[in-house]
Chains A and B, each alone.
Chain A
Amino acid sequence: MPTINWSLLMPELVIVSTLFIVLIFDMIDSLSKKVLGWITIVGAAIALWVSINMLLVGEVGTEFSGMFEIDGYSLFFNIIFLISTILVTLISLSYLGTDHKKQGPYYILILLATLGMMLMAAGNELIIVFLGLELMSLSLYVLAGYFRESPASSEAGMKYLLLGAFASAFFLYGIALIYGAVGTTSIPDIATKLNENSLSPLLLSGMFLLIVGFGFKVAIVPFHQWAPDVYEGAPTTIAAFISAGPKAAGFAAFMRIFLDALPDLEPQWNGIIILLAMITMTGGNIIAIAQTNIKRMLAYSSIAHAGYILIGLAAASNDGKASAMFYLLIYCVMNIAAFGAVILAKNADGESLLISDYAGLGFRKPLLGLFLTLMLLSLAGFPPTAGFVGKFYIFKSAVQAGYVWLVIIGAINTAISAFYYLRVVVKMYMNEPEEELEFNPYPSTLVLGLVVASIGVLLIGILPALLVSPIQNAVM
């Protein structure tokens, strides 16, 4: 029985403990359910603090006979997941309101999904990655359909379940084929076996199936169809969550497998990734222009962003990896905050989901207008926001790898995307309101989440070095 270095697993252990604490406190009926949310936030914050510390100290190693790899890469992704979880929980506190029955499982599922993501990022073994993927996905299926009384939410949950299960099957089949070809599922072993073996059709088909599986999970065109429907129907907080953490987790495993296990197949997969990046960016952005519902617009925008991140993967270098990680972190923050602002725009009758509802909002709700404008400008990649630095970094790594054409397409896409992001700003500031809407007062937790995100987006936009140096150290 090998000894286990538990200190390496601290972030995961903290999350598991938090999960149990929430479970126990959920049974106490007299307790305000908001406490559960705060426990989740505290637990995630402790795990975040532990992860940051481990990253700075450089506490790395493998665990469970090499199935679990704790390195700068996985620790940094932990940071992305945990920040997403904290932000989503913050915006959920007011969104769920004081409805007593529902809240326990909600937070437990969020924590379970977070744990699944952490497994995916640290998995050094295809089976572990799959385990993490399923843990995450199953929690998300339930969360997407969480508002059972709402037909849209139920539909979203069902759709997500069916298509997600389909994608998981592709993924698992891919693993099986790769195992058949090289006889192992360990990521480093696959890389060494590939050196010796020649290419087999089995291996290549396994690789294709993995791309399809990941393509579904991170919503890459043409595997993206589920995303807009799920985002639209799911509770807005969960839409924010699905668009952020799980996408980052998908990319964490995607990059780990393709860059660490299949680097020798780069000539085979690189062309596909480039093609996917192009159609994902262009498709996502062009379809987003046609949207009238802001949640669907954000869904297509998040698809387009997956395209930008694919550029980092296509660059297939340390710099490319670092830029994708950088982008994923800031993308998660700004996307959750954008969804948070959408929740804030909720009027007396429910959410204002049509872009036309936002007419004149900027002057009537200056704070909200400011938040949403900042996030949209960051998503569009205007300086001095973090979104600009992120795109710049990704483009830089791709130019370095010699993909100038890919970068030109990416840059033109940035201009296209500015059109629909700015359209919301136009509505908010340049159009007169069509009808007087009643607004609820700002919930303090939601505003707290948005303030934190805004400061982050501006701070990283102005001082990118704060984030660039740790990431570059993490991927070395």
Chain B
Amino acid sequence: MLLSLVIFLPLLGVIAIALLRGMGASTVKGIALIISLLTFLISIGLYYGFDADIEGFQTTDLLRQKLNWVTDLGISYHVGIDGISLWLILLTTFLTPICVIAAWNSIEKGLSGFMMSLLALETGMLGVFCSLDLFLFFVFWESMLIPMYFLIGIWGGERRIYATIKFVLYTMAGSALMLVGILALYFQNDNSFDFVALTQSGPFEHSHLLFLAFFIAFAIKVPLFPFHTWLPDAHVEAPTVGSVILAGVLLKMGTYGIVRFCLPLFPEAAANATSWIIPLAVIGIIYGALVAMVQPDLKKLVAYSSVSHLGFVVLGLFSQSHAGIQGSVLQMINHGLSTGALFLLVGMIYERRHSRMIVDFGGLAKRMPVFATFFLIVTLSSIGLPGLNGFVGEFMILLGSFVKGAFSKWYVVFATTGVILAAVYMLWMFQRVMFGKLDSTNESLRDLNPREIVLLLPILVLIVWIGVYPSSFLNPMKMSVNEVVRKVDTTQNTPAVGQLKFNENSIESGQIIESENIFMTNEEAQIK
């Protein structure tokens, strides 16, 4: 029940705004803020109701609901969460009120439509993370496109129409194939779309094609190189809030799909596909970083950095190791926080200066010390400075894929250069924007106002919290990640692919467990 409340409360807000929008802008903003805050508070209840010792989906009535929907077609309304979706739900409900506050003064036309789109989008995203029925999943997956389409298309920048159409068509092309995959699974799942039943059946016929059908849809969303071309356009043209949601949550729907569907349902196909997915992920990491380095536009720079960061997440997921997958899930949260904050900061400076070009800035630290401080912390978090969140995720991903990944270790070595490149492009950008000579046009720029500080502070708290004490985030997801790894592992035991590598693995397996332990203690040592 609680879960359905969280999912549909924002939709209630949409209806409330639609009915009461005649009462003026402040009412609309008030409703949006109250509803989104309420959703966040209730979603914290999910965390307290969550039992970290359960493998798989939570079973209590509070966190699991199943209703008949279209019985004749084997469709049910089935929602539930596990340790992976829990964090993504909290991330979504956490970022939405921040977005509402961020949009407080910056939306001039169609404010009610904007807030309605934002809240409808929240319902769509939450639904994606909670659905335990493939039909329901697809409904949320597709319906979330419409509010995003409006957010970019109506409130975006110059080339917003091109960007929004590109975004919708890319996603739809991918989901068209996924739809076929879902239908094909249906007939192998006793004529039912139920996901929990699905995880217990299998292996499936044509699992390689099914894997591809799902994977391409998710890869476009992630976006994995070479499906990333929609992302810079969408990010640059989207309004600030659109970029925050896009980077913060929407991209995670792709990686979530991989860890929820691709890996556990088609482990064998996933193991086979590793040989071409890992190179793509590594290319994405390096290519994204290199392209980010030469961007003259702040927003585009952050957008390309997303391509690079999400490459790490895919790498970790396909390392099919406990540390790698756990690190990837954590990195999804990290990226949502850090990149979300970066887009907010870029949005704030754009509101003041009406420019995002790096050359237009310089020496801002003198004029805007608070802004510079926030920007620095977020920049360092994005780079992966130890003690901040980015480090934990990236370290676990690299460790997991280096020790246990069923692919050449050189890939991990190349991927690691991505961390260095990240430091290059982020710090170089920071230096050009914050230090140096202050341009006369920038003399009058105001520092952050209390509203902006209020909306950035919670993000910073989490950035430090995850960096210092990641266990509070890692522990609840441990069992769920275990289950994914166990499903993936069953096929690794059958010598289907790359026998030589598996032998290596089994020799090392003793060490692997050890090294993971070492890692955990390292983390804890770090805290002390």
Contacts and interface: CB of A to CB of B under 8 A. Distances in A.
Contacts of B75: 464
A213 B186 CA distance: 37
Contacts of B177: 408, 411
A418 interface: yes
Interface stretch (B143-151, B264-272, B328-336): B143-151
Contacts of A465: 69-72
Candidate in B142, B165, B179 with the most chain A CB atoms within 10 angstroms: B179
B273 interface: no
B154 A419 contact: no
A469 interface: yes
B227 interface: no
A415 B173 contact: yes
A422 B168 contact: yes
Contacts of B173: 412, 415
Interface in B58-103: 69-73, 75
Interface in B22-76: 69-73, 75
B183 interface: yes
Candidate in A393, A414, A463, A472 with the most chain B CB atoms within 10 angstroms: A414
What range describes how many residues of B lie at the interface? 35 or more
B72 A388 contact: no
Interface string B173-186: 10011011001101
A463 B77 CA distance: 11
Nearest to B21: A366
B135 interface: yes
Interface string A453-464: 000000000011
B424 interface: no
A407 interface: yes
Interface stretch (A296-304, A396-404, A444-452): A396-404
A82 B405 CA distance: 63
A407 B183 contact: yes
Interface string A6-44: 000000000000000000000000000000000000000
A279 B73 CA distance: 29
Contact of B150 (A384, A400, A429, A472): A429
Contacts of A419: 165, 169
B142 A408 contact: no
B110 interface: yes
A468 interface: yes
Contacts of A382: 142-143, 145-146
Given A363-B110, A396-B73, A465-B72, A383 B168 contact: no
A412 B176 contact: yes
Interface in A34-59: none
B139 A399 contact: no
A49 B26 CA distance: 48
A377 B143 CA distance: 10
Contact of B183 (A395, A412, A426): A395
Candidate in A399, A400, A419 with the most chain B CB atoms within 10 angstroms: A399
Given A411-B179, A415-B173, A468-B70, A430 B142 contact: no
A467 B177 CA distance: 26
Interface in B141-163: 142-143, 145-146, 149-150, 153-154, 160-161
B198 to A, nearest CB: 16
Contact of A399 (B109, B140, B145, B184): B184
A464 B161 contact: no
A393 B169 CA distance: 22
Contact of A400 (B140, B180, B187): B187
B180 A408 contact: yes
Contacts of B12: none
A309 to B, nearest CB: 18
Contacts of A469: 71-72
A429 B135 CA distance: 30
B143 A383 contact: yes
A257 to B, nearest CB: 27
A425 B153 CA distance: 10
A415 B164 CA distance: 14
A399 B146 contact: no
Contact of A384 (B70, B143, B161): B143
A429 B180 contact: no
Given A388-B139, A396-B186, A414-B172, A377 B146 contact: yes
Contacts of B473: none
A426 B139 contact: no
A392 interface: yes
B374 interface: no
A430 B161 contact: yes
B138 interface: yes
A345 to B, nearest CB: 19
6 contacts: A395-B183, A396-B73, A396-B186, A419-B169, A468-B70, A469-B71
Nearest 6 A-B pairs (CB), nearest first?
A411-B176, A415-B172, A383-B139, A399-B183, A465-B70, A430-B153
Given A363-B109, A422-B149, A469-B72, 11 more contacts: A382-B143, A395-B180, A399-B184, A415-B176, A422-B165, A423-B165, A429-B154, A464-B70, A465-B70, A465-B71, A468-B72
